[in-house]
Amino acid sequence: MTVNEPSLHSSKSDKAIVRPNKQTNSWVPALLIGIAIAYLALVQYIPALNVFIQAFGKGVGPFLANLSKPAFLHAAWLTLLLALISVPINAVFGLCAAWAIARHNFPGKAIVLSIIDLPFSISPVVAGLMIVLLYGRNGWFGPWLQAHDIQIIFAFPGMILATAFVSMPFVAREVIPVLEEFGKDQEEAARILGANEWQTFWRVTLPSIRWGLLYGLILTNARAMGEFGAVSVVSGNIADKTQSLPLFVEDAYKQYETEAAFSAAVLLALLAVVTLVLKEILERKTRIKDVD
């Protein structure tokens, strides 16, 4: 007994030394949370609040009047068209790319994934410049386009190309992990029971990836409607012709039409809020599905 007593006392003392001091460390989480909140307030909350204050500074009437101006309506309509065209294109591309990558192994698969992720890493301005160098008057395809009287740059088709490029990866990147998690068992069972490829996709695969697909579509739409850099390069920012809503905000502010600029910015901010709400709803549905 006397031999074991020192070791017993030493173990107790070691535990006392290792035990954290709650009074000393209790301020650390509060400090980190305070730093995070202060940073978000300076970078996001205060600037966003200032936009709303400037937009509604003279009341709701002037705000609504700014939203009814012809230049604003044309920019909003053009932005809506960009989203209506680019989102379905990227939805089809994303589904095809996700299916090919998640269901097949082929040489260069990693390279294909890197190319899909390229719009995430490349500057939108550089992306717009790439389109100009391809389809501009002095670009690779410029002489052929001029010979056939087709205008891409400083026109709506160039804006479509730029918007489709920057919003390309979202659907594919959201659907690929869902397909990989879903596996092939149910699809193979459907084929054994006599279903063709289209029936298998429509009745088995699509219901299993629907939340990931919707999530990708929401992100694609948000990026398409809020894109500035690439669209600015290829469009020329011509009022009432090639001016989307983000470009309208910049142009109105430069022309000292601050109320119109802030009113359009509020509309874009509300679009971002709707996107965040839909994103949260889809994430909750996905978590509930995983629990079930």
CATH code, domain with 97: 1.10.3720.10
- Please report whether residue 287 resides in a domain: yes
Span 57-86, pLDDT tens digits: 888 888 889 889 999 999 999 999 999 999
pLDDT of residue 1: 45
Residue 8 confidence (pLDDT) above 50: no
Residue 90 scores a pLDDT above 50: yes
Binned at pLDDT 50, 70 and 90, residue 21 comes out as: low
User: What is the CA 125 to chain-centroid distance, rounded?
Assistant: 17
Average pLDDT over residues 258-286: 84
The SS3 call for residue 213 is: helix
In this predicted structure, the answer to whether residue 19 has a pLDDT above a threshold of 80 is no
17-41 mean pLDDT:
77
- In a domain, residue 160? The reply is yes
Residue 56 counted as domain residue? no
Is 8 a domain residue? no
Q: What is the mean pLDDT of residues 161-173?
A: 94
pLDDT confidence of residue 30: 87
> pTM of this prediction?
0.81
- For the chain, first and last CA: distance in Å? 56
Identify whether 145 is part of a domain. Answer: yes
**Taking the CB of residue 290, how many other CB atoms lie within 10 A of it?**
8
Is 62 inside any structural domain?
A: no
Longest dimension (CA), the chain: 103
Which position has the higher pLDDT, 214 or 279?
214
- The total number of structural domains in the chain stands at 1
Give the separation between CA 163 and CA 214, rounded to whole angstroms.
19
Segments forming the whole domain that contains residue 95? 70-291
Q: Alpha-carbon distance 68 to 61, whole Å?
A: 11
- CA pair distance 184, 186, nearest whole angstrom: 6
Does the pLDDT of residue 189 top 70, yes or no?
yes
- The pLDDT assigned to 3 comes to 47
pLDDT surpassing 70 at residue 14: no
Q: Is the pLDDT of residue 5 over 90?
A: no
Residue 156 lies in a domain: yes
In Å, what is the CA distance from 106 to each residue of 111, 118, 196? 11, 20, 23
CA distance 107 to 112: 10
Give domain status of residue 248, yes or no. Answer: yes
pLDDT over 50 at 158, yes or no: yes
pLDDT value of residue 277 = 85
Burial category of 39 from C-beta neighbours within 10 Å (exposed 0-12, middle 13-18, buried 19 and up): exposed
Angle at alpha carbon of residue 169, lines to 91 and 226, rounded to 5°: 85
Q: How high is the pLDDT of residue 169? A: 94
Q: What is the mean pLDDT of residues 225-239?
A: 91
